[in-house]
Amino acid sequence: MCMMLEDDRVISASPEATAAKKLGKLLIRYDRLVGRLEGLAAREGPLSAATVPGGLLKALDDDADPREWIEECVLKPHRRENNKARGLLHALGSYQASILHTMRWEALERPLEPLHRLQPQGIASPETQTP
């Protein structure tokens, strides 16, 4: 099962969506990271031994609040990306959104077929035109 961050809650998403799978894995990693940070804060132990991103260690050296850093540098960017993905899914449907994801992130051996849904009805595609 894949999970996606939607605003302030986690929802299940289509298991076929590659973006949803990647986002789900990231959310699990960051959830574990937050759990580690909360555990370290509860024990009042040093955070230098924790396995955390370098940016967070620098923020902690500058006396930043770990929760604020997680909110600003992890949750908000993922929320923005998830909103973009949700917008694609609503605008194009899941099939076309997965095609756009493939076009953006994966190498293609041949061009993809045109998205007929996006073409105006009056314009013919190159395949349907006669020479």
Kindly list the domain boundaries of the chain, sorted by start residue.
2-99
Phi and psi torsions of 100, nearest 5°: -65, -40
Read off the DSSP letter of residue 16. T
State the Cα–Cα distance between residues 72 and 48, nearest whole angstrom: 21
**Tokens 């620098």 found at:** 58
> Which band of pLDDT confidence, cut at 50, 70 and 90, is reported for residue 114?
low
> Which band of pLDDT confidence, cut at 50, 70 and 90, is reported for residue 9?
low
Q: What is the dihedral of CA 49, 8, 96, 94, to 10 degrees?
A: 110
State the Cα–Cα distance between residues 26 and 116, nearest whole angstrom: 33
* pLDDT given at position 50: 47
State the Cα–Cα distance between residues 40 and 44, nearest whole angstrom: 6
Q: What are 67's strand-pairing partners?
A: none
Does the pTM of the predicted model rise above 0.85? no
Which regions of the chain does DSSP assign to beta strands (E)?
Answer: 2-6, 9-13
Tens digits of per-residue pLDDT, 42-99?
665 554 444 556 666 677 677 777 677 777 777 787 777 777 766 665 665 555 556 6
Q: For residue 32, give both structure tokens.
A: 């574990």
Q: For residue 30, give both structure tokens.
A: 């960051």
Tens digits of per-residue pLDDT, 17-36?
666 666 667 777 777 777 77
